[in-house]
Structure 1
Amino acid sequence: MNRLVKMRTQESLCRERAALDSARRSFWRAQAEEWEQRALDEIAHHFRECNLGSAENQPPLS
């Protein structure tokens, strides 16, 4: 989860820069969107691992 916190922090910093740097606003917004997508991918990866782990511990269906 530390990785997720770092990704969300980067996203937030990019959004702040976008608000303050009108000359490069679109660049910073794009960077923020990339960090947001990385965070979403990290969350999805975490849940896939959790679901695979719980599926392996369940008895097979008959």
Structure 2
Amino acid sequence: MKRLVEIRNQEFFCRERALRDSERKNFWLAKAAEWEQCALDEIAFHFRECNLDMAAAR
């Protein structure tokens, strides 16, 4: 889950940049959306791994 924290930090950084850089706001928001998708992918991966571990333990 440490990786998820790092990904969310990158997303936050991009959103902060979007607030401060009006000329490149759309760029930074697009980057934030990419990081958000990475976070969702990481969460899905984690749950798949947990489910596999639980199934193997049965």
TM-score, normalised to structure 1's length? 0.90
When the two structures are aligned, how many residues end up with a matched partner?
58
| Contiguous gaps of at least 5 residues in structure 2 | none
Task: Tell me, in whole angstroms, the C-alpha distance in 1 between the residues paired with 2:21 and 2:54.
Answer: 46
* CA-atom RMSD in angstroms: 0.5
After the TM superposition, which parts of structure 1 deviate over 2 Å for at least 4 consecutive aligned residues? none
1:8-62 CA-partner distances (Å, limit 9, x unpaired): 000000000001100000000000000000011000000000001101111xxxx
Partner amino acid, structure 1, of 2:19 = A
Q: Percent identity among equivalent residues?
A: 64
* 2:19 is the alignment partner of 1:25: no
| Contiguous gaps of at least 5 residues in structure 1 | none
Larger-Rg structure: 1
* 2:54 is the alignment partner of 1:54: yes
TM-score, normalised to structure 2's length? 0.96
